[in-house]
Amino acid sequence: MKSLIKIVLILGLFIGVYSCQQDDSSTIAPPRPYNEVYEEDILKIEEFLDTHYVTIDGDFNTVFTKIPDGGSQVPVSDMPELEFKEVNLHDITYKVYYLKLREGTGESPTRVDSTLVAYKGNTIFKGTVDGNTVYNQSVFEENVNPIWFNLDGVIRGWAEIIPQFKIGTYSSNTDGTISFQDFGVGVIFIPSGLAYFSASRPGIIPYSNLVFNFKLYNLKRMDHDRDGILSMYEYGDPLDVERFKKDPIDTDGDGRPNYLDVDDDGDGFLTKVEIKKPLPLLPGQGITLNYPFDPIVDNPSTPLVDETEPKGIPSASGDGTTPTRLRRHLDKTSKPPFTTY
Ligand SMILES: [Ca+2]
Ligand SMILES: [Ca+2]
Ligand SMILES: [Ca+2]
Ligand SMILES: [Ca+2]
């Protein structure tokens, strides 16, 4: 009897699983191929750029309007501020157009930094009215007040284009508020494959191309794994200007890229210990001398650095200046410079 109940239960389970799968396949369509969608997306985006002009107010807010028949307005596609970046993903070379309305004067964020931005996001979708092609625009999200975003946690199109801009300067006002000047301002036109693709989000239907007007006010360099080395230096070879186009480096091959790995060479010693140096009179009391480092020039804020000190994180043999040296936290045969910690 017991075994009969078991069989019935197991059978019920199988039927349950089977019917779930049936339900799933009948209600959720599989995503469309990326390349097929991109071919349509890029045509829509380029047609939009060809048929619309932009008006920009004193605060760099933008409005895109269809050029009327016979209109003399300059289409976006003819504006000298229009640039594009190619992004390789999904075996496709995506073209991401952006308007560089103002580049900014300060530093640029990398793909692993945090950014303070204000923005307005629009979807553009193509339709037909009285036999004529029209593009509707619809605001799905707006943050007039600046908000912090980690660029490694946002849609890919955003993470690729924001680093093409720079922050500006800022000053504190007597009422406690902060004023920003000369910051980067732009508009990005993102194909759906570098946005939410087949997923629907509030105000965004699947396969929507997105347009963002943004202002890049400020940035914060991130140290995701808190090992004392900024993520921008751990993402790839710091000497490689193309590093953010590649996959991040994983020195010990444990599946955690260096910028998320507290023991980068997998030798059992934490990176934050390996980049420290003991004070001569206090063995075991390491201080973080060798950070922040720059691959070429040592950071002047590093304490205790003078002409006799190594610059940046040294190799196991103490070489602190050769740009291509193997730094000791990436050399699994080297030990931290002190044994007690
Ligand atoms: Ca780090
Ligand atoms: Ca690793
Ligand atoms: Ca690390
Ligand atoms: Ca280590």
> What's 123's domain CATH number?
3.10.50.40
Q: How far is 318 from 289, CA to CA, in rounded Å?
A: 13
Q: Are residue 215 and residue 279 in the same domain, yes or no?
A: no
CA of 169 to the centre of ligand 4 (A): 38
Amino acid at 200: S
On whether the CB atoms of residues 53 and 74 are closer than 8 A, the answer is: yes
Q: Are strands 169-172 and 178-181 parallel, antiparallel or unpaired?
A: antiparallel
Sequence-separated (6 or more) residues with CB below 8 Å from residue 205: 123, 125
Q: Give per-residue pLDDT as tens, 193-221.
A: 999 999 988 888 899 999 999 999 999 99
CA distance 264 to 272: 10
Structure pTM?
0.80
Ligand 2 centre and the CA of 220: distance in Å? 24
Ligand 4 midpoint to CA 265 (Å): 5
Query: Which range of residues forms the domain containing residue 163?
Result: 34-220
59 closest CA partner among 217, 219, 174 = 217
Residue 277: what pLDDT?
Answer: 61
Q: Are residues 68 and 169 in the same domain?
A: yes
Check residue 279 and give its pLDDT.
52
Sequence-ordered strand ranges (E) for 74-208: 82-89, 92-102, 114-129, 132-150, 169-172, 178-181, 184-190
319 found inside a domain: yes
Residues by chain with Cβ below 5 Å of ion ligand 3: 225, 227, 258, 261, 264
Ligand approaching nearest to the C-alpha of 228: 1
The parts of the chain modelled with pLDDT lower than 70 are: 1-28, 277-312, 337-341
The pLDDT score that the predictor gives to residue 57 is 95
pLDDT at position 10 is 44
Distances (CA, A) of 30 to 25, 27, 34: 8, 10, 12
Which residues, by Cβ under 5 Å, contact ligand 4, an ion? 263, 265, 267, 269
Q: How far is the CA of 107 from the centre of ligand 3 (A)?
A: 23
Q: Is residue 5 part of a domain?
A: no
Ligand 2 centre from 180 Cα, in Å? 39
Last residue of a domain, one of 220, 244, 273: 220
Three-state DSSP class for 37?
Answer: helix
Ligand 1 centre and the CA of 226: distance in Å?
Answer: 5
Alpha-carbon distances, residue 11 vs 8, 18, 44, 255, 336 (angstroms)? 5, 10, 51, 40, 60
Same domain? 329 vs 273 = yes
- Per the domain annotation, does 238 fall within a domain? no
Q: Is 107 within a domain?
A: yes
Q: 241 C-alpha to center of ligand 2: Å?
A: 21
pLDDT score, position 40: 95
Q: Which ligand is nearest to the CA of 276?
A: 4
Burial 163-183 (b: 16+ CB within 10 A, else e): bbbbbbeeeeeeeeeeebeeb
In 3D space, the residue among 113, 110, 213, 216 whose CA is nearest the CA of residue 168 turns out to be 216
